[in-house]
């Protein structure tokens, strides 16, 4: 005879694509499940709310905070930075022709260039 697992999801509420709340048999609290598109995985966090209405509000708040932080981290990655893209553009131009010096000067000009270090 099979025994029911207490870890089984007892109820789930899909809020929108990539965001849902659910409850398990082990806890009276609702959990938040959020899809992280940059990492390609789900983030699961307890809402610490017993009420479904309060858990929905907590899920929306968590989603806003998570994506605000995630977008900041995404923009700070070296492979997605403007400097990386500019270097890639200059490397492509170097392979094609020798007239990329003016672009390099515009980007890296000490006084008023786009990419500069103080």
- Whole-angstrom distance, CA of residue 9 vs CA of residue 7: 6
Element (H, E) at 68: helix 52-76
In this predicted model, what pLDDT tens digit does every residue of 81-106 receive, in sequence order? 777 778 878 787 766 666 667 777 77
d(CA 106, CA 41): 40
Q: Would you say how long the chain is, in residues?
A: 118
DSSP 8-class letter at 115: S
Looking at residue 75, its pLDDT comes to 54
Question: CA 62 to CA 35: how far, in whole Å?
Answer: 12
Of residues 86 and 15, more confidently modeled: 15
pLDDT higher at 37 or 76: 37
Is residue 115 pLDDT above 90, yes or no?
no
Average pLDDT, the chain: 82
Is 24 in contact with 31 (CB distance < 8 Å)? yes
pLDDT above 70: percentage of residues in the chain = 79
Contact 33, 43 (CB under 8 A): yes
Q: Contact at 8 Å (CB) between 57 and 65?
A: no
**52-87 pLDDT, tens digit each:** 999 999 999 999 988 887 666 555 566 667 777 788
């Amino acid at each position: 005879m099979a025994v029911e697992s207490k870890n089984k999801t007892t109820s789930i509420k899909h809020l929108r694509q990539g965001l849902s709340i659910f409850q398990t048999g082990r806890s009276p609290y609702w959990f938040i499940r959020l899809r992280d598109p940059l990492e390609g995985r789900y983030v699961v966090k307890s809402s610490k709310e017993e009420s479904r209405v309060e858990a929905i509000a907590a899920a929306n708040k968590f989603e806003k905070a998570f994506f605000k932080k995630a977008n900041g981290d995404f923009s700070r990655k070296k492979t997605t930075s403007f400097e990386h893209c500019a270097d890639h553009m200059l490397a492509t131009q170097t392979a094609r022709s020798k007239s990329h010096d003016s672009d390099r000067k515009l980007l890296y000009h000490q006084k008023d260039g786009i990419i500069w270090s103080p």
